[in-house]
Amino acid sequence: MELPFAESYKIKMVEPIHRSTREQREQWIKEAHYNLFNLKSSQVFIDLLTDSGTGAMSDKQWSEMMIGDESYAGASSYFKMKGAIKKILGFEYFLPTHQGRAAENVLFSVLVKEGDIVPGNSHFDTTKGHIEYRKAKAVDCTIDEAFDTTLLHPFKGNLDLNKLEKVLSSNPTDKIPFIIITVTCNSSGGQPVSLENMKEVRKLADKYNKMVVIDAARFAENAYFIKKREKACENMSIKQIVLEMFATADATTMSSKKDAIVNMGGFIGMRDEDLFRKASVFNIMFEGFITYGGMSGRDMNALAQGLDEGTEFDFLETRVEQVAYLGKRLRDFGIPIQEPAGGHAIFVDAKRFLPNLPKEEFIAQTLGVELYIEAGVRGVEIGTLLADRDPNTRLNRYPELEFLRLAIPRRVYTNNHMEYVAIALGNVFERRNEIKKGFKILYEAPIMRHFTVELEKL
Ligand SMILES: *Cc1c(COP(=O)(O)O)cnc(C)c1O
């Protein structure tokens, strides 16, 4: 018999989690005004709200924590992180920041000005936020295939080169500071970008004399998909693929809370000394001195170690195949999801799950609340609440796709937990015709409303 798949690590430390009753959960979610962000973590049994900063560090990462150097300037931890970024990503210059959005803030302070246009594949929400905050525009050039959840395409994160070239050729050249490639593409379902596509984007960038910036949060998962799905790369190691991916870019912003498997941290990688000097000014202003930039020495040590572990094939296979396993089990129940399964999460297609619920009643949010009540599993809405209102008309923006995202923390849950989640959602699917009413908004903030919104059952 072929040997079954098994995790590439064993467990050294555990944290208890607790089940609750349906009655308790109905009470708690009501008190939370049906906003999953308002729940206490103790009220959640399996927490799939996000994979950001929720991973389990390894024994080696914890031992690195003990030898962190907390010197203000010139700490050995800074040089350890610098060495790891040079070796694994290939960037000569780097600046530490407290997390990914801080890296965006610092780098975009140098590069983005009012009236600019930043084309890319679906921009992450904080990335878009930092572009729009500077009165610039993010233009989505993702391939159309990404928006059909039933379609099997190996690289749904790819940029459409025709769309991209149209943006580059039809705008004044001083209006486009760079092209951004997000790997994997979170907003389209944790979908990868092929190495071939990244190289083609580089060619276009050279033709129009533009910089390429990689938004790198899940670069290692992206490299895993390249190895598995791109014929030309099947014999390359993950670390070789990673170097080739970043060779297509001039700079990178990184949220280390994802593929570097730390609970907090980020950085900017750069090739150009002049850009590094300019960014250093903003780093000192917003984050901290250039040799710690909002991070503790111990955290820089753990990050350096995490970059190495996070780009090992065995770890990535365990990681991505666990997500795929959950996807397979949901498919067994007939539950509609974004196909193929993403690298860090399963995106449940809420419109196809609850076809009779009107979009005005927040379809994906309704599904998220039902899953929580069913089993104490917390996902997150990627739909109308997140899409927010049009800044001009103040009308709700109804996105093409309404997702309930189930994000899997790294090295935290077992496949038994995945089984529990699948059966829980399977139960909701079985009684989906009884779900006839959604929610209306009682309170919402003027921007980023999904975090603090308060809802009432219809
Ligand atoms: C998480 C993330 C960010 C922002 O990083 P934070 O660490 O949450 O500030 C930016 N881009 C992508 C693709 C992300 O996933």
- State the pTM of this model: 0.96
Ligand 1, atom 6, lies closest to the CA of 100
C-beta of 344 in contact with ligand 1 (< 6 A): no
Same domain, 196 and 255: yes
CA of 113 to the centre of ligand 1 (A): 21
Same domain, 374 and 334: yes
In a domain, 1, yes or no: no
C-beta of 130 in contact with ligand 1 (< 6 A): no
Ligand 1, atom 1, lies closest to the CA of 255
**pLDDT (tens digit, 9 = 90+) per residue, 127-186?**
998 998 899 999 999 999 998 889 999 999 999 999 999 999 999 999 999 999 999 997
In a domain, 12, yes or no: no
Q: Is 399 helix (H, G, I), strand (E, B) or coil?
A: coil
Residue at which a domain ends, from 259, 279, 309? 309
Atom of ligand 1 at shortest range from CA of 266 = 7
Same domain, 141 and 125: yes
In a domain, 328, yes or no: yes
pLDDT of residue 390: 81
pLDDT of residue 412: 98
Atom of ligand 1 at shortest range from CA of 185 = 13
CA of 255 to the centre of ligand 1 (A): 5
Query: What total number of domains does the chain contain?
Result: 2
Same domain, 322 and 295: no
Same domain, 63 and 130: yes
- 343 CB-near residues (< 8 Å, 6+ apart): 184, 190, 191, 192, 218, 221, 222, 224, 225, 319, 320, 323
C-beta of 100 in contact with ligand 1 (< 6 A): yes
Residue at which a domain ends, from 276, 309, 342? 309
In a domain, 260, yes or no: yes
CA of 345 to the centre of ligand 1 (A): 15
Atom of ligand 1 at shortest range from CA of 257 = 7
> Which residues participate in catalysis according to the annotation?
72, 124-125, 215, 217, 258, 450
C-beta of 252 in contact with ligand 1 (< 6 A): no
pLDDT of residue 391: 74
Same domain, 321 and 419: yes
Same domain, 404 and 303: no
pLDDT of residue 195: 98
**pLDDT (tens digit, 9 = 90+) per residue, 32-60?**
999 999 999 999 999 999 999 999 999 99
Same domain, 258 and 326: no
In a domain, 8, yes or no: no
Residue at which a domain ends, from 309, 332, 351? 309
C-beta of 266 in contact with ligand 1 (< 6 A): yes
In a domain, 417, yes or no: yes
C-beta of 377 in contact with ligand 1 (< 6 A): no
Give the CATH number for residue 97: 3.40.640.10
- 324 CB-near residues (< 8 Å, 6+ apart): 340, 341
Same domain, 112 and 256: yes
Residue 453 CB-half CA count within 13 A: 23
**pLDDT tens by residue, the chain, 458 residues:** 999 889 999 999 999 999 999 999 999 999 999 999 999 999 999 999 999 999 999 999 999 999 999 999 999 999 999 999 999 999 999 999 999 999 999 999 999 999 999 999 999 988 998 998 899 999 999 999 998 889 999 999 999 999 999 999 999 999 999 999 999 997 778 999 999 999 999 999 999 999 999 999 999 999 999 999 999 999 999 999 999 999 999 999 999 999 999 999 999 999 999 999 999 999 999 999 999 999 999 999 999 999 999 999 999 999 999 999 999 999 999 999 999 999 999 999 999 999 999 999 999 999 999 999 999 999 999 999 998 888 778 899 898 889 999 999 999 999 999 999 999 999 999 999 999 999 999 999 987 899 999 999 99
C-beta of 215 in contact with ligand 1 (< 6 A): yes
Give the CATH number for residue 439: 3.90.1150.10
Same domain, 193 and 277: yes
Same domain, 154 and 296: yes
In a domain, 9, yes or no: no
In a domain, 325, yes or no: yes
Question: Could you tell me the residue range of the domain that residue 272 belongs to?
Answer: 59-309
pLDDT of residue 408: 98
Q: What would the DSSP string read from start to end of 156-224?
A: TT-B-HHHHHHHHHHS-GGG--EEEEESSBGGGTSB---HHHHHHHHHHHHHTT-EEEEE-TTHHHHHH
Same domain, 146 and 247: yes
